[in-house]
Amino acid sequence: MNHFEYLQPTDLAEASRLLGDGPDEAMIFAGGTDMLSLLKDDVVAPRKLINIKGIPGLDDIRYTPGNGLVLGPLVTIRAIKENPTIREHYPVLAEAADVLASPQLRNLGTLGGNLCQRPRCWYFRGDFDCLRKGGATCYALEGRNKYHCIIGGHPCVIVHPSDMAVALLALDAKVTIYTPEETRQIPLNEFFVRPAEDYEREHVLKPGEIMSRIEVPAPPSGMLSGYRKFMERAVWDFAVVSVAAVFTRSGDRITGGRVSFGGVAPVPWQDEAFNRKLSGLRLTKRSVTDACKTLLSGAEPLSENAFKLPLARNLTGSLLLELAGVPL
């Protein structure tokens, strides 16, 4: 691990200035749960760490009926999990927090850090000089790739590790990015960068930019939502595959909604074609199961992870039916 300077700015402008030219110079330190292991594993080596926890106002949770939810980047996963308003209006978000990491990590880990965390690919975290670390090869392609992606993964086949991102994507969230010049807002699905565009970064933040807010639209009345995460152990594990579903219904038909996936792609993933078909889908076992058969149909599993495709399809089908109260 390298030596670094530890700085504690008290406003965004100062933090942004301290961030300087990018990760070699300085990196944001929020809960530190990802940052510390990145440092210890020598994946990153910034000269400065910028602790943003001293900046006031970044850990608010605000809900206004009709307007929706506003979350500061320093809101902890635990705070999301335990917030009654979130549990009531956005079950999918609370459920994603429920199954995230462990109690200790939820206490420390922040939402901003969760969305900006680096991939967990074991070659990336290990002493392999892979593509994403500036090397020439993706070791996972020919190596152990059980946990890697099945779709959207060229030339690096990571999966995005965040549970919160998957839930927020299904909720159509937006993120606000602070820059000294102007503050801009973008839809969450434009926040993440696919490897085909740039395989050395996971999100669009440029040097000096800070995620300063996450907004979730107000839920339409009668919205159903939920999160299912497949993990091998009962705690600590990242999603092998996860699915978030958000929809409204009328009678036995879905009237609109969105499904998103974790663990299948380098970015939190949506199957646009499937989401278009959702509206009008009959909530019966037969039609939901049939619809799910074409989910992620462009998938190209690697040597060890073909199981993720039926896993994603099965999880989606059972989640939709469970939310609709249809017996499996």
Partner 1 sequence: MKPPEHTATPGNDIADPVARPDAAAKCAGTARYLADLAVPGMLHARTVRSTRPRARITSRRLPPLPAGFFVVEARDIPGRNRIRMLDDDWPFFAEDIVNHIGEPILLVVGPEAEATAMIASRVIIEYEDLPPILSLDDALAGLAPPLYGEDNCFAEYSFHKGDLPQARRAARQMVKDGFSTGFQEHLYLEPQGVLAVPEAGRLTVYGSMQCPYYVKKAVEQAVGEGRHHVRIVQTVTGGAFGGKEDYPSLLAGQAAVAALKSGRPVRLVLDRTEDIAATTKRHPSRIDFTTFLDENDDLLGMDVDILLDGGAYSGLSSVVLQRAMFAASGVYRVPHLHVHGRVLATNQVPAGAFRGFGAPQAFFAIEMHLENIALRLGLDPLEYKLRHALRRGDRTCTDGLVRGAVRLPEMATRLCEAAGYPAKQAAYTAGQGRYRRGIGLSLCYHGCGFTGQGEELIQGTIALHKRADDAVEIRVAATEMGQGAQTVLPKIVAHSLGIPLDQIHYENPDTDIVPDSGPTVASRTTMIVGGLLREAALDLKRHWQSGRVMDIRRTYHHPPHIHWDQEHFRGDAYPEYAWGVNVVEVEVDLLTGLVRVIKIWAQFDVGAPMDERTLRGQMEGGIAQGLGYALWEKLEVDDGRVQQQRIRDYTIPTFMDMPPVESGSVYNPYEFGPFGAKGAGELTLVGVAPAVAAAVQQAIGCPVDMIPVTPEMILRRIRNRKHAKPDSEIPPESSPRSRSRADT
Ligand X SMILES: Cc1cc2nc3c(=O)[nH]c(=O)nc-3n(C[C@H](O)[C@H](O)[C@H](O)COP(=O)(O)OP(=O)(O)OC[C@H]3O[C@@H](n4cnc5c(N)ncnc54)[C@H](O)[C@@H]3O)c2cc1C
Residues near ligand SF4, by CB under 6 A: 119, 121, 123-124, 130-132, 138-140, 148, 156-158
Pick from 141, 113, 145, 138: which is nearest to 49 by CA? Answer: 113
Residue from 7, 13, 306, 326 that binds partner 1 (CB under 8 A)? 306
Contact partner at residue 233 from ligand SF4, ligand X, partner 1, none, CB < 5 to 8 Å by partner kind:
partner 1
- Is residue 35 a contact residue for ligand X (CB under 6 A)? yes
Sequence-distant (≥ 6) Cβ neighbours of residue 277 within 8 angstroms: 291
Q: What's the min distance (Å) between Cβ of 326 and ligand X?
A: 28
> How far is residue 318's CA from residue 326's CA, in Å, rounded to a whole number?
9
Pick from 37, 94, 56, 49: which is nearest to 216 by CA? Answer: 94
Q: What's the min distance (Å) between Cβ of 121 and ligand SF4?
A: 3
- Is residue 32 a contact residue for ligand X (CB under 6 A)? yes
Contact partner at residue 200 from ligand SF4, partner 1, ligand X, none, CB < 5 to 8 Å by partner kind:
none
> How far is residue 306's CA from residue 297's CA, in Å, rounded to a whole number?
12
Angle of helix 163-170 relative to helix 91-98, nearest 10 degrees, comes to: 170
- Is residue 133 a contact residue for partner 1 (CB under 8 A)? no
Contact partner at residue 156 from ligand SF4, ligand X, partner 1, none, CB < 5 to 8 Å by partner kind:
ligand SF4
Residues 138-197 that bind partner 1 (CB under 8 A): 143-144, 146
Pick from 81, 82, 79: which is nearest to 96 by CA? Answer: 81
- Please say which residue, 135 or 220, places its beta carbon nearer to partner 1: 135
Please say whether the beta carbons of 253 and 145 come within 8 A. no
Q: Is there a cis peptide before residue 56, judged by omega within 30 degrees of 0?
A: no
State the first-to-last Cα distance of the chain, in angstroms, to the nearest integer: 51
Positions touching ligand X (CB under 6 A) are 27-35, 37, 73, 77, 100-101, 105, 108-110, 112-114, 116-117, 161-164, 205, 210-211, 236, 238
Interface contacts to partner 1, rule CB under 8 A: 41, 120, 122, 125-127, 143-144, 146, 230, 232-237, 240, 289, 300-307, 309-311, 314-315, 317-318, 328
